[in-house]
Structure 1
Amino acid sequence: MAEIRIRNTEERIKGEENVRAFLEGQEVLYEHWDPSKLSEELQNKFVLSDEEKAEILKTYEDDINDLAARRGYKTWDIISLSDATPNLDELLKKFENVHTHTEDEVRAITAGRGIFIIKGTDDVGYFDVELEAGDVISVPEHKAHFFTLMENRQIVAVRLFIETEGWIAHPFADATFSK
């Protein structure tokens, strides 16, 4: 279940309803899909064949279609990152810069853990959303954020897009941000 850490105060927000309410107040969509729908083998696998990626998409087909219909997403895929990913550290450096997009950045975590760092309202500042299997988040377009892995350095997620080419990151310079 997702957990939030507000960086200025170190306050932690736990529990699905509390997390959902906080994120809603920050204009971030949060949902939870049933992670047990996925086969046990795929719940713990981070190097995937095309067939296994297709199996994950098939398993969550109804959830994906429902979210896509409600939010206008037109295409989706699977991203899988782990220490087995070629050039993982270089890839993470690209992700780990505050940026915005011209469409939502959506992740439905199916295995592993990851973290979104998001710029909240002025009274909140930056906050971390720690995600695990079953957590679904949509950071709205133009909201400053970045995504990275947690200490286990393993994640599998469904990514959904409005633009069929996927999203493009636009750097967001912010002197108030510190890692």
Structure 2
Amino acid sequence: MAEIRIRNTNERISGEENVKAFLENQEVLYEHWNANKLPTELQNKFVLSDEEKSQILSTFDEEIRDLATRRGYRTWDIVALSDATPNIEELLKKFEQVHTHTEDEVRAIAAGKGIFIIKGTDDVGYFDVELEAGDVISVPEHKPHFFTLMENRQIVAVRLFIETEGWIAHPFADASFNK
């Protein structure tokens, strides 16, 4: 289950309903899928063949299509990151910059862990959403954020897009942000 840490106060929010309510107030969609549907051999595999990626998409096809229909997403794919990913440090440097998009940034975590750092309302400031297998999040367009790996540095996620060429990041300079 996802857990939230508010950076200004170090307050932690846990429990599916509490997380969902907090994120809803911040205009962020949060849902949970059954990660145990994924075949056991793929639940801890972070270097995937195209066939294995297709198998993951097939496993979650019903959930993906339901979310896509409700939110207008037209295409989806799989991203798999770990220390075995070529140029992982360069990729993380690119990811770990606050930015916005002209469409939602959506991740459905199939395996591993990841974290979204999101700029909330003025009274909240930045907060971390720590995600694990089964967590689904959609950060709305124009909301400053970034995504990165957690300490285990392993993740497999379904990404959904409205634009068929995928999203483009727009840097967001913010003096109030501190890592």
* Coarse TM-score class (shorter-chain normalised): over 0.9
| CA apart distance, 1:115 | 0.1
Matched, 1:46 2:35: no
2:3 alignment partner in structure 1: 3
Instruction: Report the residue type matching 1:59 in the other structure.
Output: T
Quote the residue 2:170 is aligned against: 170
Instruction: For 2:73, give the aligned amino acid.
Output: Y
Aligned to 2:29: 29
- Unpaired segments of 5 or more residues in structure 2? none
Output aligned runs, 1:89-168, within 5 Å: 89-168=89-168
1:26 partner amino acid: Q
Instruction: Supply the distance in 2 between the matched residues of 1:55 and 1:167 (Cα, whole angstroms).
Output: 24
Amino acid at match of 1:62: E
Query: What SS class does the counterpart of residue 117 from structure 1 fall into?
Result: strand
Report the Cα distance in structure 2 between the residues aligned to 1:72 and 1:136, rounded to whole angstroms. 16
SS in 2 for 1:62: helix
1:114-160 Cα shifts (integer Å, max 9, x gaps): 00000000000000000000000000000000000000000000000
Tell me the SS of whatever aligns to 2:136: strand
Deviation at 1:56, TM superposition (A): 0.2
Q: Report the Cα distance in structure 1 between the residues aligned to 2:6 and 2:43, rounded to whole angstroms.
A: 29
Distance 2:56 2:39 in 1: 9
Letter in 2 for 1:29: L
CA distance in 1, matches of 2:47, 2:171: 29
How much does 1:72 deviate? 0.1
Q: CA deviation at 1:109?
A: 0.1
Q: Which amino acid aligns with 2:27?
A: E
Paired residue secondary structure (1:76)? strand
Structure 2 residue matching 1:80: 3-state secondary structure: strand
Question: TM-score, normalized by length of structure 2?
Answer: 1.00
Question: Which whole-Å CA distance do the structure 2 matches of 1:91 and 1:35 have between them?
Answer: 26
Following superposition, which runs of at least 4 residues in structure 1 exceed 4 angstroms of deviation?
none
Report the counterpart of residue 16 of structure 2 in structure 1: 16
Alignment length (residue pairs): 179
Question: Which amino acid is 1:169 matched to?
Answer: A
Counterpart mapping for 1:75-94 below 5 A: 75-94=75-94
| Matches of 2:105 and 2:41, distance apart in 1 | 27
> Following the alignment from structure 2 to structure 1, what is the Cα–Cα distance between the partners of residues 31 and 101?
21
Looking at structure 1, the residues matched to 44 and 95 of structure 2 have their Cα atoms a distance apart, in angstroms, of: 23
Structure 1 residue ranges without an equivalent (≥5): none
**AA of the residue aligned to 2:8:** N
| SS, match of residue 51 in structure 1 | helix
C-alpha separation in 1, matches of 2:95 and 2:60:
25
Work out the percentage of aligned pairs sharing the same amino acid: 84
- CA RMSD for the aligned pairs? 0.2
TM-score w.r.t. the length of structure 1 is 1.00
